[in-house]
C-alpha cells in the first residue's frame, strides 16, 4: 500500500491509516476503559493491545483500522476537523471488533490476526459477552456525543441491522447447493456482501460527514462510496481466504472452502461453464473439501475456471464505483486524495 514516487506529497494508504489510528487511539482506550474490567480485558485482547494475562503487547495483533480512518476522512472530506468525527470512529471500530469476535464464534474460527480467537482464548460465553459489551459501548458512546448525535445513532443502527441481515444470509448460504434452482445467484451474493461488509464501511464515512455537519446528499454519497468499497473489500477478502498467505492474513487458508461458504471466486468459477467449472461442480456436489489436499484441488479448479480473475474484476468494478461516488459530490481536495489512495490500497491489499 504505497504512494507513488512522483507524488511525494501524497501519503501512502499505510500513512493515512497510521495518522488516523493515532488520532483515535486515546478515545478508543478511554471507551475500553469504561467497560467492566473482565470484558475490558477481552476487548483489549481482541484489539491486539494485550495478551490473555492483560500484559500490554504494543502493536502485536492490531487490525488495519480501516473503519476509524474512514470516519475521520469522512469529516475532513466535508471540510470539518477530524476531531469531531472521533466518537464516530470509536463507534465503528468497536462495532467492527465486536462483529469479528462474534463471527469467529459463529464460524468456529480458531485464529484471528495470528492469535487464538477470543472464544478460543477465553471461552465462548465470555467471548459473546465481550462482543456484547463492545456493541453496547459503541452505541452509548455515540449517543453521548454532543451535536448531530440522533442522526449519527440512526446511521449506526441502520448499519447494525444491515450487518445482521448480511451475516444471516452468509450463514444460510452455507446450506444452499452450489448449482441448480437453489443455488446462490450473483445478486444474492452482492446483497449479502454489502450487508456484512459494505454497510459498516459506508456507515463509517457517513458518520464522519454527519458529525462534520454535512448535508444529507453528501452523507448519502459517502455512504454509497463506502458500500462499494465494502463490496471490493469483501471480494478481496474472498480471494485472500483461498489464496492468501496465512503468515500475512493471520488466518488459516481455505477455511471458507471447508465450510462451504458461498464466496465470489467459487460462484464465479461455477458460472463459467468451462471443463474446469464442470469438474469443480461435480467435486463440490459430492462432498465438502474436508482435508488440505481436497481444498487445494478445489482452489486450483476455481483458478483454472477463472474464478480468481472474475473476482479481481468484481473488486475493480466496485472500486471504480466507489471512486465515482466520491467524485459526484464536492469534497475537500486533500481528504478526497487520501480517500482515493486508501481505497486503492484496500482493493490491492494482501492482509
Ligand atoms: C451488528 C448486531 C450485529 C451483529 C453482527 C457477526 C456479525 C453480526 C457480522 C459479521 C460481519 C463480518 C465479520 C464481516 C466480515 C467483514 C470483513 C471483511 C472483515 C475483515 O476486516 P479487516 O480486514 O480486518 O478490516 P482487520 O483485522 O484489519 O481489522
pLDDT tens per residue across span 8-31: 578 999 999 999 999 999 999 999
Q: Where are the domains of the chain?
A: 13-347
Mutation test residue for ligand 1: of 114, 196, 200, the one with most atoms within 8 Å of CB: 196
What CATH number belongs to 13-347? Answer: 1.10.600.10
Whether residue 311 has its Cβ less than 6 Å from ligand 1: no
With cut-offs at 50, 70 and 90, classify the pLDDT of residue 93: very high
Determine the Cα–Cα distance for residues 112 and 344; give it in Å rounded to an integer. 24
- What is the atom index within ligand 1 of the atom nearest the CA of 237? 18
pLDDT value of residue 3? 42
Q: Is the dihedral of CA 340, 343, 349, 351 positive or negative?
A: positive
CB 195 within 8 A of CB 165: yes
Whether residue 159 has its Cβ less than 6 Å from ligand 1: no
CA 57–ligand 1 middle distance (angstroms): 22
Residue among 226, 222, 225, 259 nearest 241 (CA): 259
**SS3 call for 62:** coil
Q: Helices marked H in 109-198 — which ranges?
A: 118-122, 124-143, 149-173, 186-193
Is the confidence at residue 288, as pLDDT, over 90?
no
- What is the atom index within ligand 1 of the atom nearest the CA of 349? 23
Whether residue 197 has its Cβ less than 6 Å from ligand 1: yes
Mean residue pLDDT across the chain:
95
With cut-offs at 50, 70 and 90, classify the pLDDT of residue 4: very low
pLDDT value of residue 59? 67
Among protein residues, the one whose CA lies closest to atom 4 of ligand 1: 164
Mutation test residue for ligand 1: of 167, 193, 246, the one with most atoms within 8 Å of CB: 167
CB 270 within 8 A of CB 179: yes
pLDDT value of residue 230? 98
pLDDT in tens, 304-340: 999 999 999 999 999 999 999 999 999 999 999 999 9
Helix, strand, coil abundance in the chain, percent, nearest 5: 70, 0, 25
pLDDT in tens, 201-251: 999 999 999 999 999 999 999 999 999 999 999 999 999 999 999 999 998
Mutation test residue for ligand 1: of 45, 62, 98, 99, the one with most atoms within 8 Å of CB: 99
Strand partners, 50: 56
Residue among 57, 65, 52 nearest 117 (CA): 52
Amino acid at each position: 500500500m504505497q504512494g507513488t514516487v512522483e507524488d511525494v506529497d501524497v501519503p501512502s494508504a499505510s500513512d493515512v491509516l497510521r495518522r488516523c489510528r493515532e488520532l483515535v487511539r486515546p478515545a478508543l482506550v478511554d471507551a475500553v476503559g469504561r467497560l467492566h474490567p473482565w470484558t475490558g480485558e477481552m476487548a483489549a485482547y481482541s484489539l491486539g493491545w494485550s495478551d490473555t494475562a492483560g500484559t500490554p503487547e504494543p502493536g502485536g495483533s492490531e487490525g488495519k483500522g480501516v473503519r476509524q480512518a474512514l470516519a475521520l476522512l469522512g469529516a475532513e472530506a466535508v471540510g470539518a476537523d477530524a476531531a469531531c468525527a472521533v466518537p464516530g470512529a470509536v463507534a465503528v471500530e468497536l462495532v467492527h471488533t465486536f462483529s469479528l469476535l462474534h463471527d469467529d464464534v459463529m464460524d468456529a474460527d480458531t485464529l484471528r490476526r495470528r492469535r487464538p480467537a477470543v472464544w478460543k482464548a477465553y471461552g465462548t460465553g465470555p467471548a459473546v459477552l465481550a462482543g456484547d459489551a463492545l456493541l453496547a459501548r459503541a452505541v452509548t458512546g455515540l449517543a453521548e456525543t454532543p451535536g448531530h448525535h440522533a442522526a449519527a445513532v440512526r446511521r449506526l443502527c441502520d448499519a447494525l441491522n444491515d450487518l445482521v441481515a448480511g451475516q444471516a444470509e452468509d450463514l444460510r448460504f452455507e446450506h444452499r447447493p452450489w448449482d441448480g434452482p437453489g443455488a446462490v445467484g450473483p445478486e444474492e451474493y452482492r446483497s449479502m456482501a454489502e450487508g456484512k461488509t459494505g454497510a459498516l464501511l459506508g456507515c463509517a464515512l457517513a458518520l464522519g460527514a454527519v458529525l462534520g455537519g454535512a448535508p444529507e446528499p453528501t452523507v448519502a454519497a459517502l455512504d454509497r462510496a463506502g458500500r462499494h468499497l465494502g463490496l471490493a473489500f469483501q471480494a478481496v477478502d474472498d480471494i485472500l481466504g483461498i489464496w492468501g498467505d496465512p503468515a500475512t492474513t493471520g488466518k488459516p487458508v481455505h477455511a471458507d472452502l471447508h465450510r462451504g461458504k458461498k464466496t465470489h471466486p467459487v460462484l464465479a468459477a461455477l458460472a463459467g461453464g468451462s471443463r474446469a467449472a464442470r469438474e469443480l461442480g461435480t467435486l463440490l456436489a459430492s462432498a465438502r473439501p474436508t482435508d488440505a489436499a481436497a481444498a487445494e484441488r478445489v482452489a486450483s479448479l476455481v483458478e483454472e475456471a477463472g474464478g480468481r480473475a472474475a473476482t479481481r474484476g468484481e473488486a475493480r468494478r466496485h472500486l471504480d464505483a466507489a471512486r465515482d461516488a466520491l467524485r459526484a459530490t464536492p469534497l475537500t481536495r486533500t481528504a478526497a486524495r487520501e480517500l482515493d489512495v486508501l481505497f486503492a490500497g484496500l482493493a490491492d491489499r494482501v492482509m
